[in-house]
């Protein structure tokens, strides 16, 4: 498809902009106007993408502490039982030899949010400091992060199900605690951070005349 193209050019360099909703190509002079096919507002890049994405990410990092230090739920049976944090719940599962389920919760609640925060920091630094290496790998990383981030909501759903189900008065009783709110907001904020990030910014760093662009192209064929 790219055979007859002398070089890679972005639509913006050539005076075009793409409608992000219906993907119709417009002239760049339409910036800020509405798409004549779908009615969405046209922007060559998501406005304030970098600031919005940084802000959500920083807020998520700050809330990550209370999310992990405060208890997320309390299980009480015959008056006994104490509040559990996320990590405490996972350790409890591992102690009871529920290895697989413990690992699933560990990955969804701790590994994925941490990796997502690291990945978003790398991506935002790439754009902020105009880094030009491994752009395709970074794009793939963003796709993975965007897809996997929502699975962190798992623990929140588990709390909801357990609290609704185990309401047997004195015999057994589960209640949710404030750590759950903090954790849910962390997941929400990391999703907003990925949502406001415009992947096209990664590729804007690239200067089309650099020799690296030519060698990259040969690699593909």
- In the complex, the smallest distance separating the C-beta of residue 130 from another protein, rounded to whole angstroms, is 16
Is the Cβ of residue 129 or residue 221 nearer to another protein in the bound state? 221
**Residue whose C-alpha is closest to residue 89's, from 183, 164, 167:** 183
Is the Cβ of residue 55 or residue 70 nearer to another protein in the bound state? 70
- In the complex, the smallest distance separating the C-beta of residue 67 from another protein, rounded to whole angstroms, is 12
Backbone angles phi, psi at 88, to 5 degrees: -60, -45
Is the Cβ of residue 57 or residue 102 nearer to another protein in the bound state? 102
Is the Cβ of residue 50 or residue 163 nearer to another protein in the bound state? 163
* Structure-block tokens of residue 183: 């954790």
- In the complex, the smallest distance separating the C-beta of residue 122 from another protein, rounded to whole angstroms, is 16
Give me the long-range contacts of 201-204 (CB less than 8 A, separation at least 24). Answer: 201/45, 201/49, 201/50, 201/127, 202/123, 202/126, 202/127, 202/135, 202/138, 202/139, 202/142, 203/10, 203/135, 203/139, 204/10, 204/12, 204/45, 204/127
- In the complex, the smallest distance separating the C-beta of residue 97 from another protein, rounded to whole angstroms, is 11
């Amino acid at each position: 498809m790219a055979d007859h193209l002398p070089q890679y050019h972005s639509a913006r360099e050539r005076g075009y902009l793409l409608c992000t909703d219906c993907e119709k190509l417009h002239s760049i002079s339409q910036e800020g106007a509405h798409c004549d096919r779908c009615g969405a507002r046209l922007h060559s890049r998501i406005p304030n993408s970098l600031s919005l994405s940084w802000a959500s990410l920083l807020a998520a990092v700050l809330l990550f502490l209370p999310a992990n230090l405060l208890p997320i739920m309390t299980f009480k049976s015959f008056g006994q039982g104490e509040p559990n944090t996320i990590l405490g719940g996972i350790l409890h599962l591992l102690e009871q030899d529920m290895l697989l389920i413990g690992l699933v919760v560990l990955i969804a609640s701790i590994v994925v949010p941490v990796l997502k925060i690291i990945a978003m920091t790398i991506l935002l630094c790439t754009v902020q400091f105009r880094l030009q290496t491994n752009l395709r790998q970074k794009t793939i990383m963003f796709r993975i992060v965007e897809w996997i981030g929502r699975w962190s909501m798992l623990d929140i759903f588990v709390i909801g199900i357990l609290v609704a189900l185990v309401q047997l008065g004195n015999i057994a009783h589960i209640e949710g605690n404030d750590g759950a709110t903090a954790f849910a907001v962390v997941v929400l904020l990391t999703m907003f951070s990925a949502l406001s990030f415009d992947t096209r910014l990664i590729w804007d760093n690239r200067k089309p005349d650099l020799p690296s662009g030519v060698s990259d192209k040969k690699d593909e064929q």
